[in-house]
Amino acid sequence: MKTEPTPPVLQALVLADHIYTEENGKRIICGTFSRIFCSQFPTVFNRPTWAFILLADVIGEVELQLCFVHLEEGKILMQSNPIKVRAVDKLTPLDLAIEIPHFPLPVAGVYSFECYANRYMIGSVRLNVAAPETLQGEQK
């Protein structure tokens, strides 16, 4: 009987305005965020957005996929094409910088970018989306 390999461990999933990669492979992650404000809904978030993904225990070839989900409805609003990655060895962490296309925001609320490896969700990062008036009364 064939068994599926153990999925990798998601050590980091971060949303950012940009990710630079130096010649030596080092990543510079700029403008991280987990909350955005939109003046009207429905809308499309059309600013450059990147996802930094750090995986451990990658064994052989793994097919990754990101899905953008509206959590209150459980509805998938967007998903990436499969991304095949392969680690040199399972002890060496594997990091990726993935550009995210413009994504829909039908209403204010809580969304999630979910990371799947070989069709198993290995983690996610939440994105809170609100109208600017929700800033009133908050400490700055």
Q: What is the pLDDT of residues 102-111, one digit of tens each?
A: 999 999 999 9
User: Which architecture does CATH list for 9-132?
Assistant: Sandwich (2.60)
DSSP characters over 47-58: S-EEEEEEEES-
- pTM of the entire structure? 0.89
HSE at residue 128, side-chain half, CA atoms within 13 A, is: 8
Candidate from 26-40, 98-112, 125-139 with smallest mean pLDDT: 125-139
Higher pLDDT, 115 or 138: 115
- Whole-angstrom CA distances from 52 to 9, 41, 101, 137 are 14, 27, 14, 32
Residue with tokens 């010649």: 23
2: Cβ contacts below 8 Å, ≥ 6 apart: none
What are the residues whose beta carbons fall under 8 Å from the beta carbon of 89, sequence distance 6 or more? none
pLDDT single digits (tens) 54-78: 999 999 899 999 999 999 999 999 9
